[in-house]
Structures are given as structure tokens and as C-alpha cells.
């Protein structure tokens, strides 16, 4: 009664194929020659890298992390923070707390103080600390700053440490970072 009818071939254009059929020649199917080729490739790379190591160079692409830092960070990379200084060396920060407010990770702590000797900028940060164990390097603090007092360098803060206390950076360290060749500090 209900005989199984053959499925009619589908109409329309043939379905596109998104993969390549494995096309292997007899040479490749013999396997042993391809094995020899693979061994030759890995052996060649081994020899090349060994020669580099022996001749005093570096035969690897890896960077030893705490000992070496990569030189090829992008110029737009959001790395460590710096506090911009005025010509007299005081921080440009006016302790408005906007960066601390906008910070999604809540890593910035600012304690404002009053300086009666400077009528132009009477408010300054007595304490400016960043907790790098929690910082997510989003750059919102830089966006929020009305005085252009905080910026980010392309270099990352190299703070490998076994304690979290070591990852808090104080105002002095944020001011003293990379003072010589830092374009941001003019």
C-alpha cells in the first residue's frame, strides 16, 4: 500500500558547498612521504631555533613576562596611568573626583586638600591612589577628566606581585612614572 517512493531530486540551483573535498594524491595517500616531509619541517624549525639559541639570540616568539616587556604595544593602547604635572611640578589634578565617580571598577581613591597659597588652584589631591589589581583599563577616567590631568600611556603597568598591597600605586608613583621620555608631560 504505502510503498516508499523515491525522493525526487530537488529543483533549483545546486546547493553551494562551503567546504573543500579532501583531494589527496597517491603521494599523499602513501602517508610515509608526507610523514617524512612533516618531520623535515619540524626538524628544520628545531634546528633553526637551536642555532639561534646557541648563537646567543632568542629562538622563540615568547616574551618572558616580568623580565621582558614587549616593545610593540599599539600607540593607542590603554596602559598605565600618569598624572600630568604643571610647569612647577605640582599635579594638574584639581581633586574634582570625576574620575573616581565614573570609574566602573571603583579603583581610584582621591583625598582633596586646600592650598591657600595658590589662589588659581586652591584644591589639590593630597592622596591619589589607583588599585591596579582591580583596574580594568577602560580609560573612562581619562575621558572624564576636565583638566586633562590623567592620561594613559601605551606601556602596561608591570606589577607582578604576590600581594595585592603592592598593586596600589600612590600619587608620587603616578607622578614619577616615566618622566623623561613622556610626551604627555612636555
Partner 1 sequence: MIQDFVITFLLIGYAVSVLLTFGTILTWVERKQAAVMSDRIGANRAYVRIPFTQVKLIWLGLFHGMADGLKMMLKEDFRPKTYDALGYALGPWVTFVPVLLVFAVIPFGGTLDPGRLIPALAGWFDGRTYTLQIARLDAGLLVIFAFGGITIIGAMLSGWSSNNKFSLLGALRAGSQMISYEVVMALTILGLILIWGTVDLGEIVRLQSGRVFHFLPAWGIVLQPFAAILFLVAAIAENKRIPFDLPEAESELIAGYYTEYSAMKMGLFMFAEFIEIAIVGALFTTLFLGGYNPPWMDDGGFALGGGPIGLPHWMMVPVQLGTFLVKVLVVCSFQILVRWSLPRFRYDQLLAFAWKFMFPLALANLGVTAAVLWLMER
**Residue for cell digits 596611568?**
81
Listed residue (159, 164, 163, 161) closest to 177, CA to CA? 159
Angle, alpha carbons 99-105-110 (nearest 5°): 40
Based on the shown chain and the rule CB under 8 A, indicate whether residue 162 belongs to the binding site for partner 1: no
Based on the shown chain and the rule CB under 8 A, indicate whether residue 42 belongs to the binding site for partner 1: yes
Cβ contacts of residue 97 below 8 Å, gap of 6+? 110, 112
Q: What's the rounded Cα separation, in Å, for the pair 60 and 53? A: 9
Based on the shown chain and the rule CB under 8 A, indicate whether residue 46 belongs to the binding site for partner 1: yes
Q: Binders of partner 1 among 51-80, rule CB under 8 A? A: 53, 59-62, 64
Minimum separation from the CB atom of position 45 to partner 1 (A): 6
Based on the shown chain and the rule CB under 8 A, indicate whether residue 50 belongs to the binding site for partner 1: yes
Based on the shown chain and the rule CB under 8 A, indicate whether residue 105 belongs to the binding site for partner 1: no
Minimum separation from the CB atom of position 80 to partner 1 (A): 25
Joined together, the cell numbers standing for residue 97 give 573626583
List interacting residues with partner 1 (CB under 8 A). Answer: 35, 38-39, 41-43, 45-46, 49-50, 53, 59-62, 64
Amino acid at each position: 500500500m504505502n510503498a516508499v517512493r523515491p525522493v525526487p531530486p530537488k529543483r533549483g540551483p545546486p546547493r553551494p558547498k562551503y567546504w573543500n573535498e579532501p583531494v589527496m594524491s597517491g603521494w599523499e595517500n602513501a602517508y610515509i612521504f608526507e610523514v617524512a616531509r612533516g618531520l623535515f619541517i619540524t626538524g628544520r624549525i628545531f634546528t633553526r631555533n637551536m642555532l639561534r639559541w646557541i648563537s646567543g639570540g632568542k629562538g622563540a616568539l615568547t616574551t618572558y613576562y616580568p623580565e621582558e616587556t614587549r616593545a610593540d604595544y599599539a600607540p593607542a593602547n590603554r596602559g598605565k596611568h600618569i598624572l600630568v604635572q604643571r610647569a612647577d611640578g605640582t599635579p594638574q589634578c584639581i581633586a574634582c573626583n570625576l574620575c573616581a565617580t565614573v570609574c566602573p571598577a571603583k579603583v581610584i581613591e582621591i583625598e582633596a586638600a586646600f592650598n591657600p597659597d595658590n589662589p588659581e588652584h586652591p584644591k589639590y589631591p593630597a592622596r591619589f591612589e589607583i588599585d591596579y589589581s582591580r583596574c580594568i583599563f577602560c580609560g573612562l577616567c581619562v575621558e572624564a577628566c576636565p583638566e586633562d590631568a590623567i592620561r594613559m600611556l601605551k606601556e602596561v603597568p608591570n606589577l607582578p606581585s604576590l600581594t595585592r598591597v603592592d598593586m596600589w600605586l600612590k600619587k608620587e608613583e603616578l607622578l614619577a612614572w616615566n618622566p623623561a621620555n613622556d610626551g604627555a608631560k612636555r
